[in-house]
Amino acid sequence: MRAHLQVVLMTTAFLLAPIPAFAAEEVTVFEIIDMAAQFAGEELTVEGELVGDYGFRNDGWMWTQLNGDAYVAAPLREGGPPVGANIGIGVRIPVELAEGLDSPGGYRNRGPVVRVTGIWKYHDPERQGESYLQVDALTVTEAGRQLDEGANWTALISGSLLLAVAGIVARLTPPDN
């Protein structure tokens, strides 16, 4: 009797619950750029590094860039190979989701790696044809980290020597005119 009641309750709960959303399609940044028109208006999940700036605007949104290239896993400054240009898209994130993120990627640091889900707005008519991912869920999968920079002593010493030689030549041989 109890088992029957359980089945009835669960069935009722299932029927009354809101229709579950289809899982967002999991894609890469490259796929979004390459098949931008096909993905127009679709809900997508994508992972990548936030780079550049966090532009907190007055309308409650934060804009930044999401890169999905090889430099996310292997930054050049940590010995990663140069494998071409960056692959990035613009992302618009609600301010409440963007608060507390580590600094965006740049020269001194690898930005936070995030997994975001949102609607791909392809040539959005409401923003005069801009394309971007409007994020409604964000998870940080890897915190940002500092990238070390060492001084280039060879260049520093060679440059100083060359400047010194130029100065000596200039002093010893004044120009005629």
Partner 1 sequence: MLIRPVADDFRVIGFYMGRIFLVVAAAAGLPLVWAAAAREWSPFGSFLLMGGVFALFGVVGTRLTPKEQGLDWSHGMVVVALTWLLVPIIGAIPLLLSGHFGRPLDAFFDAMSGVTTTGLSLLNDVDHLASSLNFWRHFLQFLGGQGIILAALTIFAGTGGITLYFGEAREERILPSVTSTARFIWAVSVVHLVFGVLALGLVGWLVLGFGIDRAVFHGLMVFFAGFDTGGFAPQSTSIGYYHSATFEGVTSLLMVAGAMSFGLHYALWRGPRRGVFANLETRTILATFAFTMVLTLLGLAATRLFVSVTGLTRQGLFQVLSAHTGTGFSTVPSVELAKWGGLAFGGIAIAMALGGMGSSTAGGVKSLRIGLTIKAVVNQIRQVLLPEHALVGTAYHQSGRKHLTPQLTQSVMIISLLYVALYLLGAGVGLAYGIPLQQALFESVSASANVGLSVGVTDPSMPILLELVYMLQMWAGRLEFVAVFSLLGFVYAWVRGR
Q: Residue 41 corresponds to which amino acid?
A: G
Shortest gap between Cβ of 96 and partner 1 (angstroms)? 15
| 86 CB burial (10 A radius; 0-12, 13-18, 19+) | middle
Q: Does 82 bind partner 1 (CB under 8 A)?
A: yes
Please tell me the count of residues contacting partner 1 according to CB under 8 A: 67
Query: Binding residue for partner 1 (CB under 8 A) from 97, 137, 140, 147?
Result: 147
CA-to-CA distance for 107 and 166, rounded, in angstroms? Answer: 32
Stretch that binds partner 1, among 9-17, 20-28, 138-146, 167-175 (CB under 8 A): 167-175
Stretch 22-61: interaction string toward partner 1, x if CB under 8 A: -----------xx-xx-------------xxxxxxxx---
> Strand 43-56 relative to strand 25-26: parallel, antiparallel, unpaired?
parallel
Stretch that binds partner 1, among 2-10, 18-26, 137-145, 169-177 (CB under 8 A): 169-177
Strands (E), the chain: 25-26, 43-56, 61-67, 88-94, 109-110, 113-124, 130-142, 145-146
CB 65 within 8 A of CB 48: no
Structure tokens at 33: 């750029």
Which chain residues interact with partner 1 by CB under 8 A?
Answer: 33-34, 36-37, 51-58, 62-63, 65, 67, 69, 71, 75-77, 82-90, 92, 105-107, 110, 123-125, 127-132, 147, 149-156, 158-163, 165-166, 169-170, 173, 175-177
